[in-house]
């Protein structure tokens, strides 16, 4: 049955003949067009043509070329890796080429007499760069400063390539002192031995710098302050001496100070913390960063203002009975009392300066008992003329501005409180809110000594190229009165301790009460010498001593004068 069905199916499909499974070749002419019969083909441009295969000769030549290249490369690899491989491997393993800094020598810092205040030494623990060595003399730390050495990582690579200057001349003139580092290539073996080296760039050493400082004068000032602190209980001190014509700083010292060599080499954290937290503040350069109430050292400026404004003649006398009483308009039974530090009797201007009469300056400052006063407006103006609240412009970093109290300042400081007559009285004797730096006080005194030239202080020998900032115009006769009053302070007044036979000086003292309960005072001494031909002015302050102490800043200058008379008398000529 199945076979019958299959035969019937084959007939319908015309499969009566067996299927021939062998394919016949296909003639290309049955499929493709004949390119020769078609227009538009450019046979010279290879259109309509079949590419010819690479010839056996070309292929054979290429095989030879590639074979030669392989042989050449293989030979070189054999030479490097087999024949000379051990030699090159040893060189590669044992030698190292690195670029190394050649640290420039830092310039020396000298005082005006050629004493080396800072110089270089070979460090025993590290020969990569010279160490810094500071003179073993007191009083120079804040003026000269110190350094920190370049630091390197654990592998010995320096990640700091310059000294870090810290304060003083080191910072102010770092660009002059530091020079320029050089470079060299060093080849070392596996043991660290140098096998060869060559300099790529030579270092340029820094320039030496001669300052205006006298190191020995500075040391005498510092040691005198140190002795007085220990004997009388002051907390600190400052001394500044300035040339009244050039602005050169002869001495600038602040007590206490830090050890420059110790700070440069490095100290442990405990020691550093003890210095930071010390009540003496050894890192504070008090000469430029300390603000102090000036007290009576401002009285020469007030006297000059009163003469210039014509509110009083130098011969007019004012009675000092120990205090003045100002009526209280709100309660007549409670007048305001302003005390004088002593009963002086009748005093004219010269004597008032010499004995520092507060009553006299209350009267010419604020007006009292028929005497017209300057008022706070004029006081503010004349204080500004002498630049007591301005930066001096000295090269040292960290200088701060002074302060002159005004009605606007009081309103802002004391929540809108008004200015009163008593505020003017206290301001006229250099207290209340008045503040200034010791360097500013020295510059003010120099302007009094040179009759009106406000200077730019400098630590460079020769001073600034343009030392005069401003020139104040006052009458010659008025300058004479002020000078004579300050000279009287030495011959019979509050600075009589400076009345010595070997030099004539003019001076003014100041005592400013500080702290609660008025238990402490700042003791000032300012002045100039020689009196008839002023060359130098000074400002010395002893900070926060007991109020019952009667020995202060004047004694510091007496110690210096005594030393100068023997060791440096040329400063008196």
Residue 38 located in a structural domain = no
Is the Cβ–Cβ distance between 240 and 255 less than 8 Å?
no
In terms of domains, do 378 and 299 share one? yes
Three-state SS string over 109-166 comes to EECCCCCEEEEEEECCCCCCCEEEEECCCCCCHHHHCEEECCCECCCCCECCCCCEEE
Q: What is the pLDDT of residue 53?
A: 64
Residue 316 located in a structural domain = yes
> What six digits make up the tokens of 196?
């060869």
Residue 247 located in a structural domain = yes
Q: Which residues of 450-481 are buried (b: 16+ CB within 10 A; e: fewer)?
A: bbbbbbbbbbbeebbeebebeebeeeeebbeb
Residue 152 located in a structural domain = yes
> What six digits make up the tokens of 124?
């025993």
Of 72, 137, 80, 68, nearest in space to 109 by CA: 137
Task: Determine whether 416 is exposed, middle or buried from the number of CB atoms within 10 Å of its CB (0-12, 13-18, 19+).
Answer: exposed
Q: What is the pLDDT of residue 125?
A: 56
In terms of domains, do 399 and 486 share one? yes
d(CA 423, CA 407): 9
Residue 79 located in a structural domain = no
Is the Cβ–Cβ distance between 373 and 379 less than 8 Å?
no
Residue 42 located in a structural domain = no
Question: Total structural domains in the chain?
Answer: 2
Question: Which domain, by its residues, includes 171?
Answer: 98-210
Is the Cβ–Cβ distance between 253 and 143 less than 8 Å?
yes
Is the Cβ–Cβ distance between 550 and 231 less than 8 Å?
no
Angle CA 4–5–10, to nearest 5? 100
End-to-end CA gap in the chain: 156
In terms of domains, do 443 and 505 share one? yes
Residue 10 located in a structural domain = no
With tokens 């730019």, the residue in question is 456
Per-residue pLDDT of the chain (573 residues; tens, 9 = 90+): 445 544 544 554 454 444 444 445 555 555 454 545 555 555 555 555 555 666 777 767 777 887 888 887 877 777 666 666 666 655 555 556 677 788 899 999 999 999 999 999 876 555 678 899 999 999 999 999 999 999 888 877 788 888 999 999 999 999 999 999 988 887 777 666 777 777 788 999 999 999 999 999 999 999 999 999 999 999 999 999 999 999 999 999 999 999 999 999 999 999 999 999 999 999 999 999 999 999 999 999 999 999 999 999 999 999 999 999 988 877 887 889 999 999 999 999 999 999 999 999 999 999 999 999 999 999 999 999 999 999 999 999 999 999 999 999 999 999 999 999 999 999 999 999 999 999 999 999 999 999 999 999 999 999 999 999 999 999 999 999 999 999 999 999 999 999 999 999 999 999 988 877 778 999 999 999 999 999 999 999 999 999 888 899 999 999 999 999 999 999 999
Three-state SS string over 55-103 comes to CHHHHHHHHHHHHHHHHHHHHHHHHHHHHCHHHHHHHHHHCEEEEEEEC
Is cis: bond before 340, omega within 30 of 0? no
In terms of domains, do 219 and 347 share one? yes
> What six digits make up the tokens of 219?
């040391």
Residue 383 located in a structural domain = yes
In terms of domains, do 323 and 273 share one? yes
In terms of domains, do 249 and 364 share one? yes
| Last residue in a domain, options 150, 176, 210 | 210
In terms of domains, do 429 and 464 share one? yes
In terms of domains, do 161 and 241 share one? no
How many Cβ atoms from other residues are within 10 Å of residue 65's Cβ? 9
pTM: 0.82
Looking at residue 396, the DSSP 8-state letter turns out to be: S
Backbone phi, psi, residue 78, to 5°: -65, -40
In terms of domains, do 206 and 237 share one? no
What's the farthest any 2 CA atoms get from each other in the chain? 165
| Last residue in a domain, options 183, 210, 237 | 210
Q: How many CA atoms lie within 13 A of 230 on its CB side?
A: 7
How many residues does the structure list for the chain?
A: 573
Q: What is the pLDDT of residue 332?
A: 80
Q: What is the pLDDT of residue 5?
A: 47
In terms of domains, do 194 and 239 share one? no
CA-CA distances (angstroms) from residue 107 to 100, 121, 122, 514? Answer: 22, 12, 14, 43
In terms of domains, do 523 and 453 share one? yes
CATH number of domain containing 481 = 3.40.710.10
Strand order in the sheet with 130-134: 130-134, 116-122, 109-110, 209-210
CATH number of domain containing 131 = 3.90.1310.10
In terms of domains, do 466 and 500 share one? yes
Looking at residue 376, the DSSP 8-state letter turns out to be: H
| Last residue in a domain, options 210, 233, 252 | 210
d(CA 452, CA 444): 9
d(CA 568, CA 466): 28
Angle CA 31–35–38, to nearest 5? 110
d(CA 340, CA 362): 9
């Amino acid at each position: 049955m199945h076979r019958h069905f299959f035969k019937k199916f084959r007939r319908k499909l015309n499969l009566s003949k067996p299927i021939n499974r062998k394919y016949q070749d296909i003639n290309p002419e049955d499929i493709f067009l004949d390119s020769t019969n078609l227009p538009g083909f450019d046979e010279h441009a290879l259109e309509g043509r079949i590419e010819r295969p690479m010839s056996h000769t070309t292929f054979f030549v290429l095989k030879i070329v590639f074979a030669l290249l392989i042989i050449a490369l293989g030979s070189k690899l054999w030479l490097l890796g087999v024949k000379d491989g051990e030699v090159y491997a040893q060189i590669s393993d044992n030698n190292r080429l690195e670029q190394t800094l050649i640290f420039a020598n830092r310039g020396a810092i000298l005082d005006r007499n050629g004493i080396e205040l800072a110089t270089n030494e070979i460090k025993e623990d590290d020969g990569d760069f010279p160490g810094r060595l500071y003179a073993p003399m007191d009083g120079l730390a804040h003026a000269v400063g110190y350094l920190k050495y370049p630091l390197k990582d654990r592998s010995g690579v320096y990640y700091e390539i310059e000294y870090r200057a810290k304060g003083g001349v080191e910072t102010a003139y770092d660009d002059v002192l530091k020079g320029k580092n050089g470079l060299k290539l060093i080849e070392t073996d596996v043991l660290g031995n140098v096998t060869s080296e060559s300099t790529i760039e030579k270092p340029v050493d820094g320039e030496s710098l001669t300052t205006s400082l006298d190191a020995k004068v500075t040391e005498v000032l510092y040691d005198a302050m140190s002795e007085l602190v220990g004997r009388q209980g002051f907390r600190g001190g400052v001394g500044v001496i300035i040339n009244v014509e050039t602005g050169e700083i002869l001495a600038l010292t602040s007590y206490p100070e830090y050890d420059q060599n110790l700070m440069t080499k490095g100290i442990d954290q405990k020691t550093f913390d003890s210095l930071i937290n010390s009540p003496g503040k050894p890192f504070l350069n008090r000469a430029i960063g300390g603000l102090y109430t000036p007290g009576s050292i401002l009285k020469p400026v007030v006297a000059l203002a009163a003469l210039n404004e014509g509110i009083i003649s130098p011969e007019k006398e004012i009675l000092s009975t120990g205090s003045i009483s100002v009526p209280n308009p709100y309660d007549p039974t409670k007048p305001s009392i302003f005390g004088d530090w002593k009963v002086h009797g009748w005093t004219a201007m010269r004597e008032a300066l010499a004995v520092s009469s507060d009553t006299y300056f209350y009267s010419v400052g604020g007006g009292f008992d028929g005497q017209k006063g300057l008022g706070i407006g004029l006081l503010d103006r004349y204080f500004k003329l002498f630049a007591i609240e301005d930066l001096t412009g000295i090269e040292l970093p960290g200088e701060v501005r002074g302060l002159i109290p005004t009605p606007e300042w009081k309103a802002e400081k004391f929540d809108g409180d008004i200015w009163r007559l008593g505020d003017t009285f206290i301001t006229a004797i250099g207290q209340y809110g008045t503040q200034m730096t010791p360097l500013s006080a020295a510059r003010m005194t120099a302007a009094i000594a040179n009759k009106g030239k406000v200077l730019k202080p400098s630590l460079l020998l020769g001073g600034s190229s343009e030392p005069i900032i401003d020139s104040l115009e006052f009458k010659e006769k008025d300058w004479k009165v002020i000078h004579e009053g300050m000279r009287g302070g030495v011959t019979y007044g509050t600075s009589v301790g400076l009345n010595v036979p070997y030099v004539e000086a003019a001076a003014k003292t100041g005592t400013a009460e500080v702290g609660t309960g008025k238990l402490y005072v700042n003791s000032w001494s300012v002045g100039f010498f020689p009196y008839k031909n002023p060359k130098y002015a000074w400002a010395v302050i002893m900070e926060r001593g007991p109020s019952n102490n009667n020995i202060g800043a004047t004694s510091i200058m007496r110690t210096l004068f005594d030393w100068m008379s023997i060791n440096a008398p040329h400063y008196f000529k």
